[in-house]
Chains A and B, each alone.
Chain A
């Protein structure tokens, strides 16, 4: 059926190149940057007529990359043994080398590819747990993280640190936030709390860009503070970062840095990189799924965790090709996304009479925008109802956030009351201003109709 052929991005790329074989860093001759119609075509498999302003959760993948992925998949299906013995390892190494160059890592051995940041967190936290279990870290030592760390990561800390005897210090993220200094001050207080029982803070889990509420944290400064305080290991959860902020692992200087490539770097679901500073010195870092590669270093262990579909890990060179079709490459994309999301966030805040959750310089390709207090977002359920209502009735996908009042002078207000709800809008290359006007109008319509969250139909 022609309709399906048009929709299925596996039916050939916009440009029919054999992406699987080109050298990772070779920039194609850029005769002209990719055009608007080309961009639309690359994302024509997205649901049409839908304002997709939640790139943060599941990311997005253009047709050319999906097509490259399919080429790899087909090669495996044609002759899997030959693929396994002759192509797979090479292909993964090429992808890792491409990532190494992208993030300014010293050694490709330090770069592992895993499914996602959730997996990387399990890997790193298991290792921390073992250090508590074997006594390298003592029972009254602590692990520090932000209270808004991603839920999976919080559970992972609960699973691997708690039972092993470590205690956890949570740092409350000031939100809405005005400056990096507010965050650093809270973090320093948290570090002090970690020393209360006479122990040390052994491990710090720091988001590069928090998920909800979304703010870009001053990771370099926070890590400097950690080093000054003698924190043994710092793990940066940069799930959102690659493709939305510059990532230079040498400069950031964390012990572990993870970022998902499928969120902002156009990879298909799902692949992430985990960079481990000086991995050769880490004898006890392992992928929990043990294969014949056990003991050869995390990068090799991760490259074979039993028979699976490794195609998402193989397309990094193809992604670079895609990204380099844009003016300024990934840097240009990041800048335009940032400028666009700030402009649209400001537009929404003005229309609704609210405000932004952070200053523009503390956001990348996502920004938090306050929702009018009249909507009465009084719980997580209210926030979810609003999100569902927007999806079903207004064809808008945008994540919502509820934050209870903290009874401080700083509780945000609009002319009608206190602001307790926010949307996290994102901007990626497939978005147009129309998407955000649609959101603006939808909220204004709900208000005009006199509805509040708990009254909104969701089916």
Chain B
């Protein structure tokens, strides 16, 4: 009888139970029962738990369809059984995993579309939100790629956006923000700038000619551990969050940790200090990751870094108070960039070497990059001049980003012209 046949066929499958992580090959059948007898057959089927049949509509009355999801391994057997009993069925879903994959992709695309049109560049965001927006930009633009150059002390990924329209290891420009985590306007500006460059490629002559010749690497959150800490614990945190052997204090000033006059004047050897240079040059993984990346790439022409506050546009040196060899060109380019910045809202940036403009400070990033052959090394200090300081109101993010971008663009255009 049919029952015996049923039990025989399906008991053979007891040993072949799969771990249902995915639904590859699963089919959903719609079964049309003609009478009570057929309903009872299906209810018997339902009772065989080892088959792991998943009834979306359970067998109850002849007039109602029965929808059932069947694991891949059982599909042929169930169909054979239904056919042998003369029970009509049709295939609702050929392969359930396909449907799920497509659905997930659509949801992700929809979410990304919503995110891009709703990402507020004029507001401060959490690290997660920023990383999501980086994903969006990378997915939306074919010439934008999100790469990971390392991990922070607390194992957060260091994400860099690579803008490249082709070529092979083209001459490149480096731009980073947020190395000092409390300088929130810098991470926020970096995001706006990333979006600006991505969306204006192809329409803006300057950006288009720049990316047609050079690659751009943008690290919007150079100190993610510190950044998270400014959100969760202490808005005024500046340093990394590394544990220092022998001290209760945490963190190293990442802009005193580069191998440029390391340990010299303008950096502290006290772990509790906000300008602590660290136990040794490149001791901070956040710094070492960038150093290694740039050295391995080997073809960077410019190194630009964003800080706040004070409205300054500076070039090397900080660790010594002598002028760099390229003083004349850097001073002239700096002034041109400051002039571009001022053209938008009248914001004045002071131009000069680090040492003369603010103070002697050793172990800084642009001194390292300059001494390693990257001529166009500039450090920006964005708005304001002290009224709000680190707590720059969000309504100044867009003006700050826009004016800063004009300065960066001026420098990048010069680098592009000199690199071709």
Do A and B interact?
no
